[in-house]
């Protein structure tokens, strides 16, 4: 609204213009472009996995313990059961990214609702919701994750929901802090004076101004979810019917002396993907908060 925009010194530019400036700043930053290109390649590999390797990646296709580069048909070699490591890597990207992004969306959604309600209304509502957040944060996150997955039947859906439940307090605290700092701004006061309801003020007025730090933290949450899923798969607490990078590392952990590549290849994939997500988060932080890049 023009009236509210004019009354908001913290929001001087129209939203499309701010988004364009942020995108331009991100694309001008090599630390943002390189992770984007890498993550785009990983996502393309995951989406096209059925085209690259249409057969079941868990099927035995060749002689066991073929080292990388020995047979052109299996460029990354085979494991102890004769399964194609390259096929597992490609299909593992599909599972790891699916769990990572789905768990992030679930955790951010829960944290956004809880944090927005607590930060906007304050008072007793804030006190109760903060206590709930603190209860979840006092529990060791990975122990809680293992318990949740162990109680339910291990599956991709179960792991995704469990990671979302474990990670939502991070977003909730961030959103609460942003809403507490924005709820007394002039544009919120103007919205109240015009008779806007609480839901409209939260969704249409405060939330767009609180999005930058949420977007930045979301990339880190994807990396966290990928690491958690990999740790669960390594422990054998993920879906045994699907291959993931963590399950590949777990399958090769007893063969580190004789066939170290079985754990090294998916391990490198996890490291590079998590590193790219963290670098992208830093680049997004610079793009969405130009003052930070000017201070550096």
Higher confidence at residue 154 or residue 119? Answer: 119
Residue 189 forms part of a structural domain: yes
Coil, strand or helix: which one is 256?
A: coil
Beta-bridge partners for 78: 84
For position 164, what pLDDT does the model report?
Answer: 94
pLDDT reading at 11 higher than 50: no
Q: How far is CA 240 from the centre of its chain?
A: 23
Residue 7 forms part of a structural domain: no
pLDDT reading at 122 higher than 50: yes
Owning domain of residue 155: 28-295
Instruction: Record the tokens describing residue 216, joined without a space.
Output: 């930045």
For position 97, what pLDDT does the model report?
Answer: 92
Residue 6 forms part of a structural domain: no
pLDDT tens, position by position, 18-66:
666 777 777 788 888 999 999 999 999 999 999 999 988 988 988 999 9
Higher confidence at residue 160 or residue 295? Answer: 160
Mean pLDDT, residues 180-192 taken together: 88
Number of domains forming the structure of the chain: 1
- CA distance readout (Å), 87 to 9, 35, 56, 242, 244: 54, 23, 8, 12, 11
pLDDT reading at 12 higher than 60: no
For position 6, what pLDDT does the model report?
Answer: 37
State the pTM of this model.
0.85
Instruction: Record the tokens describing residue 49, joined without a space.
Output: 């996995």
Which CATH number does the domain housing residue 265 bear? 1.10.3720.10
Residue 167 forms part of a structural domain: yes
Confidence of residue 109 (pLDDT cuts 50, 70, 90): very high
Mean pLDDT, residues 253-261 taken together: 88
Residue 249 forms part of a structural domain: yes
Runs of H (alpha helix) within the chain: 2-6, 15-27, 30-47, 49-52, 85-121, 123-138, 141-151, 156-182, 186-193, 198-200, 207-234, 245-252, 261-288, 290-295
Q: Could you give the percent of the chain with pLDDT greater than 70?
A: 91
Residue 23 forms part of a structural domain: no
CB 209 within 8 A of CB 264: no
Residue 53 DSSP one-character state: -
pLDDT tens, position by position, 86-97:
999 999 999 999
Q: Decide: residue 54, CB within 10 A, 0-12 exposed, 13-18 middle, 19+ buried.
A: exposed
CA angle 269, 33, 44 (to 5 degrees): 50
Residue 90 forms part of a structural domain: yes
For position 108, what pLDDT does the model report?
Answer: 95
Residue 125 forms part of a structural domain: yes
């Amino acid at each position: 609204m023009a009236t509210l925009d004019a009354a908001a010194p913290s929001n001087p530019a129209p939203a499309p213009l701010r988004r364009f400036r942020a995108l331009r700043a991100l694309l001008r930053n090599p630390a943002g472009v390189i992770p984007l290109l890498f993550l785009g390649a990983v996502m393309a590999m995951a989406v096209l996995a059925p085209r690259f390797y249409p057969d079941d990646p868990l099927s035995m296709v060749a002689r066991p313990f073929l080292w990388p580069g020995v047979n052109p048909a299996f460029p990354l070699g085979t494991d102890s059961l004769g399964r194609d490591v390259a096929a597992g890597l490609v299909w593992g990207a599909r599972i790891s990214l699916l769990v990572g992004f789905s768990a992030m969306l679930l955790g951010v959604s829960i944290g956004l609702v809880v944090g927005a309600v607590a930060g906007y209304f304050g008072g007793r509502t804030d006190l109760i919701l903060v206590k709930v957040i603190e209860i979840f944060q006092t529990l060791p996150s990975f122990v809680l994750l293992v318990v949740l997955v162990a109680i339910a039947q291990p599956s991709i859906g179960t792991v995704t929901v469990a990671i979302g439940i474990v990670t939502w307090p991070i977003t909730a605290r961030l959103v609460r802090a942003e809403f507490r700092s924005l709820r007394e701004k002039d544009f919120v006061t103007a919205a109240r004076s015009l008779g806007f309801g609480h839901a409209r003020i939260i969704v249409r007025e405060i939330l767009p101004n609180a999005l930058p730090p949420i977007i930045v933290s979301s990339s880190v949450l994807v990396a966290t979810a990928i690491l958690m899923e990999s740790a669960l798969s390594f422990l054998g607490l993920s879906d045994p019917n699907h291959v993931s990078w963590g399950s590949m590392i777990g399958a090769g952990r007893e063969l580190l002396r004789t066939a170290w590549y079985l754990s090294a290849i998916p391990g490198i994939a996890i490291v590079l993907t998590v590193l790219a997500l963290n670098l992208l988060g830093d680049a997004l932080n610079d793009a969405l908060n130009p003052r930070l890049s000017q201070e550096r």
